[in-house]
Amino acid sequence: MPDLHPSQWHSAAAYPSSSSSPSPSSSSPGPHNEATDEVPKLPPFYSPRPIPVSRAISELDLNTISIGKPNSEFSAHQTPEPESELPGLVSPQFTPPSTPGIATPSSQNDPLQRLPKSVPVDSSTANGGCGSKKPKLLEKLPEVNCVVRARIPTTTGTEMFLHLYQNSEDNKEHLAIVFGNQIRSKSLDKVREGETEMDRLIRGAYTGRLFPGRTTSTLPAEPSGNGNVTAHAPLVRIHSECYTGETVWSARCDCGEQLDEAARLMSLPSTPTHSSGGVIIYLRQEGRGIGLGEKLKAYNLQDLGNDTVDANLLLRHPADARSYGLATAMLMDLGISELKLLTNNPDKVRAVEGPNREIVVKERVAMVPIAWRKGGIGGIRSEEVGGYLKTKIEKMGHMLQMGENS
C-alpha cells in the first residue's frame, strides 16, 4: 500500500482498497449491539470483587484457567473433569474477605442459622472439660482503656462496633469487635476531665446512633453508659492476629476461616436458644506470640519437614508464647462476667477466666473446620492445613476429632 499523507488516513480507513483481503478490523462493523458484547471470563484472582458467598470452591476447575493468559478461551458451558482434590495453594478466599463472616464459601443447604454444638465446661474441677493442662496465668490483670469506638457497617448488612484499646503491658493496639449495641465499654463511657459533648461523640462515647447535627452524647430517656454486666452469656472468640491466614490467603492454617466463622455466628438473629451478638477479642500476638518475621522463618522450617510446634522450638521459641490476660481485662471492661467461648483450645478456657476466675466460661463451642463439616466441600483443603490441624490435636491438646461434624 503506498505511503499516505496524514490528511489521507481518515479517507483511506473509511474506504479500503477492494484488493485488500478482508479482516475484522477493515470490514464494516455495522450497528453496534451492546447486548452481544461478551465479557471475558477471568479467573477470580483477576477481579477486585469477592467471590459470592454461595459459590463453593469445588465449582472451580483451576486446570481450565490460564493464569498467564487472562484473555484465553474459557467456556462457561465447559464441563470440568472431576478432581479428587484441589491443589494445595487453593485457599477458601481468592480475594481478601469483603467482610468478616462471609468470606468462606458455604452451601445453601447447610444449617447456617444455628450455632455448632456446645459443651458445658467448668475449670474449677479436674473433669470439667478444660483439659489437663494448667496454663500460666498473670498474677495481676493489666489495666486497659478503650480509646475510641466506631460503628462499622459491613457488606452483609450486619453492623459491628470496633473498639480500640490501650493497656499497661505493651504499646500495641488491641481490638474488641462487638456485634450488637447491648455491650458497652465502661472505660469508654467514663466521663473524662475537660471533655466536651463533641469530644465524646468523636471518640464514640455516645448512645443510640450518630446523625448529622447531633450535639449530645446521650439521647432523651437513655442512661449514660450501662455500668452493668451483660444480662446473658454472650458468644466470645479470643482471636490472635494472623496476617498470613487473614490477609494473604494462606492455607497453612485455619485462622482466617475461624475469624470469619466467629463473625458469621455472632451476626445470626436471636432464637429461643441463642441470643444474637457477641465479641471477638482481637489480640496483636502474631505467630502464637513470636511475631511475623519469626513466623515466616518457622514456615521455612515446616517446608524442611518440621511441624508447627517443632519449628517454633527450633527457633528457640515456646510452642505457644501467647497470653490472655489482656483479653480477660478487656472482657471485664465490656461488662462480661460469663460467656460461651468459641475455641478448640482448652488452655484458652482456663486462661481467659483470669487468675481469680474474674470471668467464668460456661460453655465451649467447638470450631470445626468447614471442610470437615461439609464432607470436603468448601473450606480450606491443603496438605499444609491438614498437618497443622493434626499437630494442634496431637501436640497442643486441642479438643477436636478428625472428621468431627457440628
Q: pLDDT of 306-334, one tens digit each?
A: 999 999 999 999 999 999 999 999 999 99
Q: Which residues contact 64 (CB under 8 A, 6 or more apart)?
A: 74, 78, 80
Q: What is the dihedral of CA 291, 252, 368, 160, to 10 degrees?
A: 50
Which of the residues are catalytic?
320, 322
pLDDT, mean of residues 218-246: 78
Q: How much is the pLDDT for 370? A: 82
Q: How much is the pLDDT for 40? A: 52
Q: How much is the pLDDT for 89? A: 36
Query: Hey, what amino acid is at 205?
Result: A
Q: How much is the pLDDT for 139? A: 81
Average pLDDT along the chain:
75
Q: What is the pTM of this model?
A: 0.70
Q: How much is the pLDDT for 32? A: 52
374 or 253, which is more confident: 253
pLDDT, mean of residues 37-62: 42
Q: pLDDT of 94-145, one tens digit each?
A: 334 444 433 443 434 445 556 667 777 877 776 666 666 666 677 889 999 9
Determine the Cα–Cα distance for residues 157 and 159; give it in Å rounded to an integer.
Answer: 6
Host H or E run for residue 298: helix 292-303
333: phi then psi, degrees, rounded to nearest 5: -65, -30
Host H or E run for residue 364: strand 360-365
Count of all residues that appear for the chain in the document? 406
Q: b/e per residue, 262-277, with b = 16+ CB within 10 A? A: bbbbbbbeeeeebbbb
At 289, list the grid cell: 506470640
Determine the Cα–Cα distance for residues 204 and 62; give it in Å rounded to an integer.
Answer: 46
| Contact criterion met (CB below 8 Å) for 236 and 338 | no
For the chain, give the percent of residues with pLDDT over 70: 64
Lowest mean pLDDT of 47-61, 101-115, 350-364, name the range.
47-61
pLDDT, mean of residues 189-207: 97
